[in-house]
Protein backbone atom coordinates (compact mmCIF):
# COMPACT_ATOMS: atom_id res chain seq x y z
CA UNK A 1 0.00 0.00 0.00
CA UNK A 2 1.29 3.48 -0.96
CA UNK A 3 1.76 5.90 1.87
CA UNK A 4 1.27 9.64 1.21
CA UNK A 5 4.09 11.85 2.52
CA UNK A 6 3.48 15.54 3.07
CA UNK A 7 5.71 17.82 0.95
CA UNK A 8 6.29 19.95 4.04
CA UNK A 9 7.67 16.92 5.86
CA UNK A 10 10.06 16.23 2.98
CA UNK A 11 11.28 19.85 2.98
CA UNK A 12 11.73 19.85 6.77
CA UNK A 13 13.69 16.60 6.54
CA UNK A 14 16.01 18.08 3.86
CA UNK A 15 16.62 21.20 5.94
CA UNK A 16 17.43 19.12 9.01
CA UNK A 17 19.92 16.99 7.05
CA UNK A 18 21.53 20.09 5.55
CA UNK A 19 21.95 21.63 8.99
CA UNK A 20 23.98 18.61 10.17
CA UNK A 21 26.01 18.25 6.97
CA UNK A 22 29.68 19.08 6.90
CA UNK A 23 30.44 22.50 5.37
CA UNK A 24 32.08 22.43 1.99
CA UNK A 25 35.78 23.12 1.85
CA UNK A 26 36.56 26.69 0.78
CA UNK A 27 37.49 27.09 -2.86
CA UNK A 28 41.13 27.95 -3.17
CA UNK A 29 40.96 28.51 -6.91
CA UNK A 30 39.55 32.04 -6.61
CA UNK A 31 40.53 34.49 -9.31
CA UNK A 32 42.97 37.22 -8.37
CA UNK A 33 41.39 40.66 -8.01
CA UNK A 34 43.20 42.05 -11.05
CA UNK A 35 41.59 39.44 -13.31
CA UNK A 36 38.12 40.43 -12.17
CA UNK A 37 39.00 44.10 -12.68
CA UNK A 38 40.32 43.38 -16.17
CA UNK A 39 37.15 41.49 -17.13
CA UNK A 40 34.94 44.30 -15.83
CA UNK A 41 37.03 46.93 -17.64
CA UNK A 42 36.92 45.02 -20.91
CA UNK A 43 33.16 44.52 -20.60
CA UNK A 44 32.54 48.22 -19.98
CA UNK A 45 34.81 49.16 -22.89
CA UNK A 46 32.99 46.80 -25.23
CA UNK A 47 29.65 48.20 -24.06
CA UNK A 48 30.79 51.76 -24.79
CA UNK A 49 32.03 50.82 -28.26
CA UNK A 50 28.68 49.21 -29.06
CA UNK A 51 26.77 52.22 -27.67
CA UNK A 52 28.83 54.67 -29.74
CA UNK A 53 28.34 52.63 -32.91
CA UNK A 54 24.58 52.55 -32.38
CA UNK A 55 24.50 56.28 -31.60
CA UNK A 56 26.48 57.03 -34.77
CA UNK A 57 23.98 55.01 -36.80
CA UNK A 58 21.02 56.88 -35.23
CA UNK A 59 22.73 60.22 -35.87
CA UNK A 60 23.34 59.32 -39.51
CA UNK A 61 19.66 58.49 -39.98
CA UNK A 62 18.65 61.77 -38.37
CA UNK A 63 21.22 63.72 -40.39
CA UNK A 64 19.55 62.53 -43.60
CA UNK A 65 16.40 64.32 -42.42
CA UNK A 66 18.21 67.40 -41.09
CA UNK A 67 20.34 68.13 -44.15
CA UNK A 68 17.45 69.11 -46.47
CA UNK A 69 16.21 71.53 -43.79
CA UNK A 70 19.64 73.12 -43.55
CA UNK A 71 19.88 73.46 -47.35
CA UNK A 72 16.99 75.94 -47.07
CA UNK A 73 19.16 78.17 -44.85
CA UNK A 74 20.59 78.47 -41.34
CA UNK A 75 18.33 77.27 -38.54
CA UNK A 76 18.26 77.01 -34.76
CA UNK A 77 18.05 73.78 -32.79
CA UNK A 78 14.36 74.26 -31.84
CA UNK A 79 13.44 74.98 -35.48
CA UNK A 80 15.34 71.95 -36.78
CA UNK A 81 13.90 69.68 -34.09
CA UNK A 82 10.36 70.79 -34.94
CA UNK A 83 11.01 70.39 -38.68
CA UNK A 84 11.98 66.73 -38.29
CA UNK A 85 9.24 65.97 -35.74
CA UNK A 86 11.44 65.84 -32.62
CA UNK A 87 9.59 68.36 -30.46
CA UNK A 88 10.12 66.81 -27.02
CA UNK A 89 13.00 67.66 -24.68
CA UNK A 90 14.75 64.30 -25.05
CA UNK A 91 14.08 64.19 -28.77
CA UNK A 92 15.66 67.64 -29.10
CA UNK A 93 18.73 66.16 -27.39
CA UNK A 94 18.98 63.55 -30.15
CA UNK A 95 18.89 66.34 -32.74
CA UNK A 96 21.62 68.18 -30.80
CA UNK A 97 23.79 65.05 -30.82
CA UNK A 98 23.36 64.66 -34.58
CA UNK A 99 24.22 68.34 -35.12
CA UNK A 100 27.30 68.13 -32.92
CA UNK A 101 28.53 65.09 -34.82
CA UNK A 102 28.02 66.96 -38.10
CA UNK A 103 30.00 69.91 -36.68
CA UNK A 104 32.81 67.54 -35.63
CA UNK A 105 32.85 66.03 -39.14
CA UNK A 106 33.12 69.52 -40.65
CA UNK A 107 29.71 69.51 -42.33
CA UNK A 108 28.27 72.45 -40.37
CA UNK A 109 29.26 75.88 -39.13
CA UNK A 110 27.92 77.12 -35.81
CA UNK A 111 26.93 80.77 -35.45
CA UNK A 112 27.08 81.52 -31.74
CA UNK A 113 24.42 83.51 -29.90
CA UNK A 114 25.00 87.28 -29.68
CA UNK A 115 27.04 88.48 -26.69
CA UNK A 116 24.91 89.22 -23.67
CA UNK A 117 22.34 86.52 -24.43
CA UNK A 118 21.26 84.84 -21.17
CA UNK A 119 22.69 81.32 -20.83
CA UNK A 120 19.30 79.63 -20.81
CA UNK A 121 18.22 81.51 -23.96
CA UNK A 122 21.30 80.70 -26.06
CA UNK A 123 19.79 77.51 -27.47
CA UNK A 124 17.15 79.66 -29.18
CA UNK A 125 19.77 81.89 -30.83
CA UNK A 126 22.61 79.55 -31.85
CA UNK A 127 22.20 78.78 -35.54
CA UNK A 128 23.61 75.99 -37.66
CA UNK A 129 24.40 76.31 -41.36
CA UNK A 130 25.91 74.01 -43.92
CA UNK A 131 29.55 74.69 -44.69
CA UNK A 132 29.98 76.50 -47.96
CA UNK A 133 26.33 77.54 -48.06
Instruction: Supply φ then ψ for residue 59, to 5 degrees.
Output: -65, -40
For residue 109, the surrounding DSSP H or E stretch is strand 108-111
- Say if residue 2's pLDDT is above 60: no
pLDDT tier at 112, thresholds 50, 70, 90: very high
- Rounded mean pLDDT, 92-119: 90
Kindly report the CATH number that applies to the domain delimited by 52-133. Answer: 1.10.10
Find residue 127's DSSP bridge partners.
76, 111
Mean per-residue pLDDT for 93-100? 89
Q: How many CB atoms lie within 10 A of CB 75?
A: 18
Mean pLDDT of 22-26: 60
| Cβ neighbours for 109, distance < 8 A, ≥ 6 positions apart | 103, 128, 129, 130, 131
Q: Tell whether pTM > 0.75.
A: no
pLDDT at 46 over 80: yes
> Are 114 and 125 contacting, i.e. CB atoms less than 8 angstroms apart?
yes
Q: Which of 18-27, 61-70, 106-115 has the lowest mean pLDDT?
A: 18-27
Sign, CA torsion 65/69/71/77? negative
Amino acid sequence: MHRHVSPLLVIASCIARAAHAQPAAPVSDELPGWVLGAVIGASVSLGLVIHQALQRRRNAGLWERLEPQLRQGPATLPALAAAVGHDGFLARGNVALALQEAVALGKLDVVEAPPGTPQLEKVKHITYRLKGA
